[in-house]
Amino acid sequence: MKTLQASDPSSFKGTVILPFFENENILQARLEFKNIQVPQAIFNGKKDSQYLVKDQESGNIFIFLGLGKNPIYKEIKTAFRRLTAKQADFFQENVLLHLTEEMGEQVLEAAVSGLLLGTYRLGHYKSAIDKEKDWTSISLSISTNLANAEIIVLKAQKLAAAQLETFHLVDLPPNKITPSFLAEWAENAGKQYGFNTKVLDRKRAEKENLHAFLAVGQGSHREPQFIIMEYRPRNAKKHVGLVGKGVTFDTGGLNIKTQGMVHMKCDMGGAATVLGAMQLIADLKIPVSITAVVPCVENSIDNQSILPSEVIRSYSGKTIEIIDTDAEGRLILADGLNYLIKNYKPDTIIDFATLTGSAVGTFGYECAALFSKNDNLLKVLQECGEKVGERVWPLPMWDVYQSEMESEIADIKNYHGKPYAGAITAAKFLEFFTENHPSWAHIDIAGTAFGDSEFAKTKHATAFGVHLLLKFMENL
């Protein structure tokens, strides 16, 4: 949708969206539309409520949208996303979003980004007969008293664009989203948004001694790709490193998955988060230097696949005993983290990964598991996540759990083989390769990157972490 600044709302022709807080005085708040009478007994702004009315004189369609008493950012965004997702027929050529004086920057940003996210559909491979709505032909006008409305709207558009791109990366099938595809995407995005991209293929990764990374992908005919992105604004005062798990499909390897494999195209959700965040941060020209590493492989099965009980090397020089080939994401992250730390030395490191079912068992689908020994980093990430509706919550990183990962034959094993503390022991495995970095956080997004919602009939991407990372960078 194209966004415009509304000149005279009272003369507007088209669909008008009127959001309300609960119990707001309906008539006094909308003097521009005094001909529209809606009794408070019918509509009073209650959360998730809607009321539609057509003005016979102007022909305008009015959508009264209830936001509730004290809505949080995610609730506002979801309410507006619901409109374009489920009321698409009411969005024709011209749409007006009319905000009252009480509705500040948060409402405007969440509203615009929500409306744009609601245009997303999963029918990427539907036949031409199911042609979708052309949202680019619709003009969205904004009526607000905010002096910086243009800046907020532009940010909301760029935020939504990055999240929509993240949706595509996770939702498209694994024969499309291959390691090579993600590498090409990163190169093209770098050229468009202003960051440098370098990609190590199998031969170059071998020369760099990225042994754990290569071990995971050795059973697939698809070429592994180790993606390195560098965003270097001139006025940067901080350097943040990002790592995203990019397993484009996870069969489990020779420890083959016995259920849920149809959803394993989502196992590159961490990579998608980092890629989407790189687009957004560079697009908004955030003054923070970023180095992002995204190791991308397919964990497949053939006679070259890594074997349970093998001992492999890693980039760090440490050896790893393979207990379970389905604990593969931590192997590529180990090389990604250690490569980033040794070669780029960022001030802070954050990795995102759809790593463990244990994180889902602990927090379900509403919150990601957060790990760090840096209390300030934990606090800032929690606060940023709460503000944008992408919640993270810490689990302990006590050293007592490290003994669970001790191997008799190697420096460490990749899985403790027990039905408890899976997310914690996975985090302790990763910590082993961070060179005791003082400001590192691991975020396990297994339950939040891909799931069910009202916006589709099947599991789909959420773009969890993209907005969280933006908010974090803005607070540095």
Q: Which amino acid, one-letter code, is at 263?
A: H
Using the structure block, give the residue that is written with the tokens 């980092």: 274
Q: What is the SS3 assignment for 13?
A: coil
Active site residue 257: yes
Q: Which helix (H) or strand (E) holds 295?
A: strand 289-299
Other beta carbons less than 10 A from residue 187's beta carbon: 16
User: Which residue from 230, 214, 212 is spatially nearest to 222, judged by alpha carbons?
Assistant: 214
DSSP 427: H
How many angstroms separate the CA atoms of 381 and 349, rounded?
12
Selecting among 46, 257, 387, 391, the annotated active-site residue is 257
Residue owning tokens 């003082």: 438
Per residue in 159-169, is it b (16+ CB within 10 Å) or e — as a string? bbbbbbbbbbb
C-alpha neighbours within 13 Å on the C-beta side of residue 86: 13
Burial (Cβ within 10 Å: 0-12, 13-18, ≥19) of residue 239: middle
Which of 30, 158, 265, 330 is flagged as catalytic? Answer: 330
342 is catalytic: no
Strands 15-20 and 94-98: parallel
Element (H, E) at 400: none
SS3 call for 65: strand
Query: What is the Cα–Cα distance from 158 to 161, expressed in whole angstroms?
Result: 5
User: In 3-state terms, what secondary structure has residue 253?
Assistant: coil
**What is the pairing mode between strands 460-461 and 450-451?**
antiparallel
Alpha-carbon distance of 132 to 321, in angstroms, equals 50
CB atoms within 10 A of CB 188: 11
Positions marked active-site: 257, 330
